[in-house]
């Protein structure tokens, strides 16, 4: 896997420090509200696990698998919910935890869906924000890093279900994904 990485964009240490910071920001805003932490699978699993360990207040955790990407590097433009959450969000504060905000297609459809289900409040915590790729604007409440328009993998982010287990965020070499 290492041979496919052009360079490390964010080190393991940089990520740990930012996750700790985001945890303190979330605690300040939601520490007395017992929020639902909604992990968007699969990419956000590692980020969510690290983030919730920084939250020393009551919260619940659930999972949803929603995407607008297939196996490639470009969005299909359509929201696909592959696994729905088990928790009733009616009257709850929901914090969506997402690995990357890229085009905005997935989240621009998911946030209204949760509100339609009766969530009192829906906010967004993203590790990576890539504004250059935005097709639909989405309000972010907690942002880890703003990054350039590079194809990134690692720390949960994948290309064709590979590279998620890298402990850092790296830029994937174009030759790995351009001809697929």
The active-site residue, picked from 50, 93, 102, 158, is 102
Determine, yes or no, domain membership for 1: no
Determine, yes or no, domain membership for 68: yes
The Cα 8–Cα 53 span in angstroms is: 25
Q: Can you give the pLDDT at residue 53?
A: 97
How far apart, in Å, are the Cα atoms of 114 and each of 88, 118, 120, 127? 10, 7, 9, 20
Q: Can you give the pLDDT at residue 77?
A: 63
Q: Report pTM.
A: 0.91
Determine, yes or no, domain membership for 155: no
Determine, yes or no, domain membership for 119: yes
Determine, yes or no, domain membership for 173: no
Q: Can you give the pLDDT at residue 23?
A: 98
pLDDT in tens, the chain (180 residues): 899 999 999 999 999 999 999 999 999 999 999 999 999 999 999 999 999 999 999 999 999 998 765 555 555 666 778 999 999 999 999 999 999 999 898 899 999 999 999 999 999 999 999 999 899 999 999 999 999 999 999 999 999 999 999 999 999 999 998 876
Residue among 22, 20, 55, 19 nearest 36 (CA)? 55
Determine, yes or no, domain membership for 133: yes
Residue 102 annotated among the catalytic residues of the structure: yes
> What are the helix (H) ranges across 45-155?
45-52, 105-116
Determine, yes or no, domain membership for 142: yes
Number of domains in the chain: 1
Do the Cβ atoms of 18 and 47 come closer than 8 Å?
no
Q: Can you give the pLDDT at residue 52?
A: 98
Domain that holds residue 128: 13-147
Tokens 């009192």 correspond to 120
Element holding 175 (H helix, E strand): helix 174-177
3-state SS class at 132: helix
DSSP secondary structure letter of residue 25: H
- The number of beta carbons lying within 10 Å of the beta carbon of residue 64 is 20
Do the Cβ atoms of 35 and 94 come closer than 8 Å?
yes
Tokens 């982010």 correspond to 157
Residue among 104, 103, 142, 100 nearest 123 (CA)? 142
CATH code, domain with 65: 3.40.50.2020
Determine, yes or no, domain membership for 165: no
């Amino acid at each position: 896997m290492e041979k496919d990485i052009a360079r490390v964009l964010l080190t393991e240490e940089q990520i740990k420090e930012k996750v700790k910071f985001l945890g303190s920001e979330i605690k300040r805003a939601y520490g007395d509200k017992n929020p639902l932490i909604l992990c968007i699978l699969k990419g956000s699993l590692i980020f969510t696990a690290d983030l919730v360990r920084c939250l020393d207040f009551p919260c619940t955790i659930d999972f949803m698998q929603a995407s607008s990407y297939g196996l490639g590097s470009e969005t299909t433009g359509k929201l696909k919910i592959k696994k729905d959450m088990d928790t009733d969000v009616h009257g709850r504060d929901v914090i969506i935890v997402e690995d990357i905000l890229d085009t905005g297609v997935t989240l621009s459809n998911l946030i209204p869906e949760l509100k339609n289900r009766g969530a009192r409040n829906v906010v967004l915590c993203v590790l990576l924000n890539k504004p250059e790729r935005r097709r639909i604007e989405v309000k972010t409440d907690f942002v880890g890093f703003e990054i350039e328009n590079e194809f990134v993998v690692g720390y949960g982010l994948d290309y064709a279900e590979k590279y998620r287990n890298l402990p850092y965020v790296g830029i994937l070499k174009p030759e790995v994904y351009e001809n697929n």
